[in-house]
Amino acid sequence: MFALQRGSTPLVISLPHDGTDIPSALAQRMTDGALRRPDTDWHIARLYGFAGKLGASVLTPRYSRYVADLNRTPDNMALYPGADNTEVCPTTCFDRSPIYRHDLPTDEEIGERVAGYWWPYHHALAEELDRLQEQHGVALLFDAHSIRSVVPRFFTGELPHFNLGTADGESCSPALEKQIADVLGRAGGYTHVVNGRFKGGYITRHYGRPAIGIHAVQLELAQRSYMDEDYPFTYRESLAARIQPVLKALLVAMLEWAKPGE
């Protein structure tokens, strides 16, 4: 269901929308457009491929968000009340095109998918955070995402390159938020916002508990920063090579903040 690379520092990187596999029986019900998996956080594990050398743990799912969205609540509560939201088992793509040709998932099927795909990832994430906190006295969670730069369903205009979310300051220490926001402010040629349209999904909000030493942030990266946003969603080495030092600086800043005595 997932791959977990355990690291030696207090940092774990979660990549909940990196997965692309879809079970064959489910794929047979899906539209050709959905099978292109347009809403995947394409190549995000590759983009953060340097993280292991920093000593970070990395958690990567196998299956597509169309099977079960790991960054939604298991009971399907809306992340952004009053706004357009997708479900824990989505039925439409971000452009509102249908995912299914026939046979939408029933409540029973949704429950089975949550049990079989959603919970294993979250059990692994919770256990890793507990391990890191016990070992280091603090645990840091960096929830890494990417999205098309223009998605009218969710936001107007073009998204900034970096979209940092801390649940309006509730999921991490204010000092940590400032430290990593300052890194983004020094990233020449890139735009950023803190707690804009993307404030952090279920993972950031649920696991971020700074009062007990678990600090979580989400980064939603505009895909124009490192890839082609249209099918076949090609990874662009030259773009990635330019933005990776900024991503590395973010993770290093988190680790520096967590050092004893900081």
Number of independent structural domains in the chain: 1
pLDDT in tens, 9-22: 999 999 999 999 99
Per residue in 100-125, pLDDT (tens digit) is: 999 999 999 999 999 999 999 999 99
Averaged pLDDT score across all residues of the chain: 95
pLDDT given at position 260:
74
Instruction: Say how many C-beta atoms besides its own lie within 10 A of residue 55's C-beta.
Output: 13
pLDDT of residue 252: 98
**Which of the four pLDDT bands, split at 50, 70 and 90, describes residue 85?**
confident
In the predicted model, is pLDDT for residue 262 greater than 60? no
User: Does the pLDDT of residue 235 top 90, yes or no?
Assistant: yes
Give the number of C-alpha atoms closer than 13 A to the C-alpha of residue 192, restricted to the C-beta side.
Answer: 21
A 10 A CB-CB count for 192 gives: 17
Angle at 188 between CA 187 and CA 191, to 5 degrees: 75
Domain that holds residue 149: 2-258
Of 84-98, 126-140, 208-222, give the lowest mean pLDDT range: 84-98
Of 152, 198, 176, give the one whose Cα is nearest residue 17.
198
Share of the chain above pLDDT 70, in %: 97
**26: CATH:** 3.40.630.40
Confidence of residue 86 (pLDDT cuts 50, 70, 90): confident
Confidence of residue 82 (pLDDT cuts 50, 70, 90): low
